[in-house]
């Protein structure tokens, strides 16, 4: 059973609609009426016994917030779901899985280092990989208008996945 969901992104207006903020964007879509508090270096919300976090550290330091919350609530890695952008999946696709490689994602690396395990669940939201150019610039660039439409359609499908977190199973979702 998932007891903590952490949606990854970077705080600040300049990052609001960037690819690296796919996790934050999904949290805002999913919890439109949430009243967020500040706790664990995060925007914090609780719903149906689940703790919801949007770490307010930069992406690469996400482990700070997740480890503080996990320690406070005495959670095991397999009770945590991390929602994040993923370069290896094309835009319009997502995958729910337990564990897996970090694939160069520094936010995931930070979480693994801080909680001492990579056995947490992941909801990977595809942002695609750039054909050419600097990946760091790509992930911090905003989604284009048509990409936001695709992302919104994917989020609609992901709402159903979020209702299965009492018994999460590997799933691939696409629009």
Backbone angles phi, psi at 75, to 5 degrees: -95, 145
* 162 alpha carbon, distance to own chain's centre: 12
Catalytic (active site) residue 20: yes
Q: Which residues contact 110 (CB under 8 A, 6 or more apart)?
A: 60, 61, 62, 63, 64
> Does residue 3 contact residue 30 with C-beta atoms inside 8 Å?
no
Helix/strand/coil (H/E/C) assignment for every residue in 124-172: EEECCCCCCCCHHHHHCCECCHHHHHHHHHHHHHHHHHHCCCCCCCCEE
User: Which of 13, 23, 59, 66 lies closest to 41 in space, CA to CA?
Assistant: 66
Q: Which residues contact 121 (CB under 8 A, 6 or more apart)?
A: 2, 78, 80, 81, 82, 96, 97, 98, 168
Annotated active-site residue in 20, 41, 84, 105: 20
Please list the active-site residues.
20
């Amino acid at each position: 059973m998932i007891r903590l969901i952490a949606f990854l992104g970077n705080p600040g207006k300049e990052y609001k609609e960037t690819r690296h903020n796919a996790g934050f964007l999904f949290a805002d879509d999913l919890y439109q009426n949430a009243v967020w508090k500040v706790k664990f270096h995060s925007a914090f919300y609780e719903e149906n016994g689940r703790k919801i976090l949007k770490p307010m550290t930069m992406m690469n330091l996400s482990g700070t917030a997740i480890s503080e919350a996990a320690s406070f609530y005495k959670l095991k890695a397999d009770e945590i779901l991390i929602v994040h952008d993923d370069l290896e999946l094309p835009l319009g696709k997502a995958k729910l899985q337990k564990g897996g490689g970090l694939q160069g994602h520094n936010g995931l690396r930070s979480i693994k280092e801080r909680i001492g395990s990579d056995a947490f669940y992941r909801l990977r939201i595809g942002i695609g990989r750039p054909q050419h150019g600097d990946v760091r610039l790509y992930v911090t660039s905003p989604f284009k208008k048509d990409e936001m439409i695709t992302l919104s359609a994917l989020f609609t499908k992901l709402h159903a996945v979020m209702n299965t977190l009492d018994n999460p199973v590997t799933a691939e979702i696409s629009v």
